[in-house]
């Protein structure tokens, strides 16, 4: 693994009072509210003091911490992707779609163990945020400047980054539209924002969701191999039109989408009715401002 020798520190703000944090090699301090941040294993915990994690957020945090401990940070299985092949194929398609990245400051929101954004660390300054400490620690070891921070309250000034990605995070947060708004806020006008998540038009996703709420245990047991679901909070889903509309409201332009027919490696443009029913995964790209 090629790690960058030196990371150019990104400007960070206090998660409690939003004042700029003053940093030296080790510590970060808030001159305004006087909170001091001491890194744990080289990773800053920029979670607000008034912890606004909902029960669902806590459930997800525990789940992802546990996945790293059980599966290790080097496999796509750590994030419950279908298999290595379709993850790596989809990842390379998305990286290509994002466009060439050089000498930029990028952010990966919900970076997990950094398997996605590690592709950019040699030529760019890449920040990763995640609520799972286990995940951010792994991301830091891959050369990301990693922070434990909430995706819906990012500890960075406006227009800090040249681009942002949100890969498979929107379905696992309690305030997805706030997460999107935050992502747009921290990206400079003209920067690209790209996300991939669960397609709400998909038949499989709709059936899995219905099954999760089905009262009859036998029906759930019989159908779960075909329409997988898990106990705990439901994965949220989003249609292309919903995300397109939301991004337009946030002032983004050039919004385009792709469907991914996982676990195969087929893909195609988003928007069509039949394609929407068949594709479980959706990716959207837009230009900010
Ligand atoms: C399915 S994983 C995707 C990881 C990575 N983007 C990738 O594709 O390899 C979702 C990640 O989102 C993180 N996450 C979930 N809710 C979050 C929140 N509210 N704030 C920050 N990160 C969150 C999880 O801890 C997990 O690492
Ligand atoms: Zn402060």
Whether residue 111 has its Cβ less than 6 Å from ligand 1: yes
Mean of pLDDT values over 35-39: 92
Q: Are the CB atoms for 117 and 106 separated by under 8 Å?
A: yes
pLDDT at 163 exceeding the cut of 60? yes
pLDDT at 91 exceeding the cut of 60? yes
Dihedral pair phi/psi, residue 278, rounded to 5°:
-95, -25
Whether residue 146 has its Cβ less than 6 Å from ligand 1: no
pTM score of the predicted model: 0.91
pLDDT at 224 exceeding the cut of 90? no
DSSP the chain: ----S---PPP-B-TTT-PBEEE-SS-EEETTT--EE--BTTBEE---SS----HHHHHHHHHHHHHHHHH-TTSGGGGT-S-HHHHHHHHHHHHHHH----S-EEEEET-TTSTTGGGGTTTSEEEEEES-HHHHHHHHHTT-EEEE--TTS-SS-TT-EEEEEEES-GGG-S-HHHHHHHHHHHEEEEEEEEEEEEBTT-HHHHHHHHHHT-S-HHHHHHHTTTS---SSSPPP-B-HHHHHHHHHHTT-EEEEEEEE-TTSS-EEES--HHHHHH-SEEEEEEE--
Q: How far apart are CA 64 and CA 130, in angstroms?
A: 10
Q: Which stretch of 111-120, 146-155, 224-233 has the lowest confidence by average pLDDT?
A: 224-233
Name the residues around ion ligand 2, CB cutoff 5 A: 14, 16-17, 19, 30, 32-33
Per cent of the chain over pLDDT 70 is 93
Query: Could you tell me the domains of the chain?
Result: 21-287 (3.40.50.150)
Q: Which stretch of 80-94, 116-130, 244-258 has the lowest confidence by average pLDDT?
A: 80-94
Choice from 58, 115, 172 to test ligand 1 binding pocket (greatest atom count within 8 A of CB): 172
Ligand nearest to the CA of 281: 1
Predicted confidence at residue 1, as pLDDT, reads 46
Ligand nearest to the CA of 13: 2
Ligand nearest to the CA of 31: 2
Whether residue 169 has its Cβ less than 6 Å from ligand 1: yes
Relative to the CA of 196, which ligand 1 atom is closest?
8
Confidence tier at 265 by pLDDT (50, 70, 90):
low
Q: What is the pLDDT of residues 231-247, one digit of tens each?
A: 666 688 999 999 999 99
Confidence tier at 252 by pLDDT (50, 70, 90):
very high
Q: Are the CB atoms for 105 and 125 separated by under 8 Å?
A: yes
Q: What is the pLDDT of residues 115-144, one digit of tens each?
A: 999 999 999 999 999 999 999 999 999 999
pLDDT at 228 exceeding the cut of 70? no
Q: What is the pLDDT of residues 197-206, one digit of tens each?
A: 999 988 877 8
Whether residue 176 has its Cβ less than 6 Å from ligand 1: no
Predicted confidence at residue 6, as pLDDT, reads 55
Q: What is the pLDDT of residues 38-76, one digit of tens each?
A: 898 889 999 998 766 788 888 889 999 999 999 999 988
Q: What is the mean pLDDT of the chain?
A: 89
Q: Return the residue whose CA atom lies nearest to atom 17 of ligand 1.
A: 131
């Amino acid at each position: 693994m090629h790690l960058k020798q030196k990371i150019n520190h990104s400007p960070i703000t206090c998660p409690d009072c939003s004042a700029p944090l003053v940093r030296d090699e080790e510590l970060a301090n808030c001159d305004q509210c006087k909170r001091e941040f001491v890194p744990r294993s080289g990773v800053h915990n920029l979670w607000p003091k008034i912890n606004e994690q909902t029960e669902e957020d806590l459930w997800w945090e525990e789940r992802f911490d546990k996945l790293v401990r059980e599966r290790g940070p080097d496999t796509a299985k750590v994030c419950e992707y279908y298999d290595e092949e379709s993850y790596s194929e989809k990842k390379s398609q998305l990286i290509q779609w994002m466009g060439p990245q050089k000498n930029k400051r990028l952010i990966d929101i919900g970076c997990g163990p950094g398997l996605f954004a590690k592709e950019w660390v040699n030529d760019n300054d890449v920040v990763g945020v995640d609520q799972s400490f286990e995940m951010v620690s792994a991301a830091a070891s891959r050369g990301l400047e990693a922070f434990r921070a909430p995706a819906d309250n990012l500890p960075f000034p406006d227009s800090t980054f040249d681009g942002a990605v949100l890969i498979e995070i929107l379905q696992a947060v309690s305030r997805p539209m706030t997460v999107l708004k935050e992502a747009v806020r921290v990206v400079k006008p003209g920067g690209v924002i790209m996300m991939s998540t669960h397609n709400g038009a998909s038949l499989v996703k709709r059936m899995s969701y219905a099954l999760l709420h089905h009262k009859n245990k036998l029906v759930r047991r019989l159908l779960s191999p075909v329409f997988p679901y898990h106990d705990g909070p439901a994965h949220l889903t989003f249609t292309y039109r919903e995300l397109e509309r939301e991004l337009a409201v946030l002032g983004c332009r050039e919004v385009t989408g792709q469907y991914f027919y996982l676990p195969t490696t087929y893909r195609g443009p988003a928007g069509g009715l039949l394609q929407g029913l068949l594709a479980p995964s959706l990716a959207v790209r837009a230009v900010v401002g």
